[in-house]
Amino acid sequence: MSAPRLRVDTPERAGLDPEEIRHLAWDVEGLTRGGRPWAAGAVVVAGRGPVIAVQRAAGWAVRYAAYDPEAGAGVELPPGRRVAMTVDTPFDLASLTKLFTSVAAVQQIERGTLGIDTRIGAYLPDFRAAAAHGVTVRQLLTHTSGLRPELPLYDCADDTERLELLRAEAPVDAPGTYRYSDLNMLLLQQLLERMTGRGLDVLVRDGITRPLGMTSTGFGPCPGAAATEDQRRPWAKADRGPLRGVVHDENAWALGGVAGHAGLFSTGRDLAVFCRALLAGGAYGPARVLGPDFAELLLTPPGLGFAVDQPWFMGELAGRGAAGHTGFTGTSLVLDPATDIFLVLLANTVHPVRRPPDSAPRARAGTRLARAVR
């Protein structure tokens, strides 16, 4: 039996308060206004059940030509050369990529080809340091491996040196200790590719995005994407200049753009489909990418790849089992199985330069949607 597909309809048809939904859209528009806005541009897609109650774009996909460190501000493009944000604009998802890597891993767990509590040394014996400490697949998925947040792979001379760094990296905390780490998803990528003989990009495409009809989702390059950063040292880790359509994360860039922790591009509508499929127990339309029990496993505390009940970016959606994630470039999504609602908020907050993280607007959006539930 097919699961319902998304359709655009009124907030009332979705069982959501129209006034709160209007305020949610206005709030997002306000994030892109002023001389130094929270983001140059933003897209919000939110709804309940199979209904998209709001999809709104605001601001600019490309607003700045560069960043001027002496002025501490972006160099504005003339209005005629700016690119307006639309609801179809793709974004560099940054760490939202981790969710797709996690789903790809849970698909293997469901098939019985991967053991969730098996030590990764059984699959990656050459990753000797993590193997020696008994790191398990579950610990990679829950960020409890004890591995440090990242390694400077972008400073390595070649892929051989990068791989050797990963193989020699031991946990800095005792396995079982929570420490959010990109390395977890890089090791998980290595494991998946080793056991399946296919690249992560192929696993994501064939196992998730193609069955779900997410035609605007994939690893870069993505020429029409929202611009990210004028990436230069000392504020960045590499000197690459203004970036648009190529991965922002320096390690993912060094790895060729396909990485377990970053590299995917997508749109608000495609991510709404992803949320809808998980809320519907792994199915969307005629496609099923996970069984209901395994879709639930992803979202059950502490979450496999997904963060659960985090008020710092979920607002009042937290506290009742809502799950989601954020991305460094300004992306986020939240889905709440208890009320069947989803919220996708995409913004290019690092355009033209990275800044101290501020998730207050994400939390306000989550609170708006939580209060809209009738």
Contacts of 243 (CB under 8 A, 6+ apart): 227, 228, 229, 230, 231
Say how far residue 159 (Cα) sits from the centre of its chain. 25
Work out the percent of the chain whose per-residue pLDDT is above 70. 100
Two structure tokens written together for 100: 């797709």
**CA–CA dist 238, 152 (Å, integer):** 10
Q: Measure Cα distances from 37 to 2, 286, 349, 352 in Å.
A: 43, 42, 9, 11
Residue 226 has pLDDT above 80, yes or no: yes
Q: Is the dihedral of CA 107, 110, 116, 119 positive or negative?
A: negative
> Residue 300 and residue 297: Cα distance in Å, rounded?
5
Grouping H, G, I as helix, E, B as strand and the rest as coil, residue 333 is strand
The pLDDT, as a whole number, for residue 344 is 99
Q: Are 320 and 328 in contact (CB under 8 A)?
A: no
Contact 192, 203 (CB under 8 A): yes
Instruction: Average the pLDDT over 341-367 and give the result.
Output: 97
For residues 78 and 280, the answer to whether their CB atoms sit within 8 Å is: no
Crossing angle for the helix pair 97-111 and 182-196, nearest 10 degrees?
A: 40
Q: Are strands 218-219 and 264-266 parallel, antiparallel or unpaired?
A: antiparallel
DSSP state of 62: E
What is the rounded average pLDDT of the residues 110-124? Answer: 96
In the prediction, which pLDDT does 131 show?
95
Q: Which of 26, 25, 37 is nearest to 64 (CA)?
A: 37
At residue 162 the predicted structure's pLDDT band, cuts being 50, 70 and 90, is: very high
Burial 287-311 (b: 16+ CB within 10 A, else e): ebbbeeebbebbbeeebbbbbbbbe
- Do 94 and 327 meet the contact criterion of CB atoms below 8 Å apart? yes
Mean pLDDT over the full length of the chain: 97
Mean pLDDT on 1-16: 94
Asked if residues 166 and 254 have their Cβ atoms less than 8 Å apart, the reply is: no
pLDDT at 35: 82
pLDDT band at 374 (very low <50, low <70, confident <90, very high): confident
| Count of Cβ atoms closer than 10 Å to residue 172 Cβ | 13
pLDDT at 269: 98
Contacts of 143 (CB under 8 A, 6+ apart): 178, 179, 180, 181, 184
Average pLDDT value for residue range 149-165: 96
The residue ranges of DSSP E strands in 128-244, in sequence order, are 218-219, 227-231, 241-244
Among the listed residues 273, 298, 295, the one whose alpha carbon sits nearest the alpha carbon of residue 211? 273
pLDDT above 90 coverage of the chain, percent: 97
Residue extents of the structural domains in the chain = 7-91+265-372
Residue 3 binned pLDDT confidence (cut-offs 50, 70, 90): confident
Which pLDDT value is given to residue 34?
Answer: 86
- Bridge partners for 201 per DSSP: none
**Whole-angstrom Cα distance, residue 283 to residue 248?**
31
Mean pLDDT of 42-64: 98
Task: Tell which CATH classification among 3.90.1480, 3.20.20, 3.40.710, 1.10.3720 matches the domain 7-91+265-372.
Answer: 3.40.710
pLDDT of residue 2: 81
Segment 45-59 shows an average pLDDT of 98
60 has pLDDT over 90: yes
CA 314 to chain centre: 14
Average pLDDT for 325-331: 98
pTM: 0.97
Q: What is the largest CA-CA distance in the chain?
A: 60
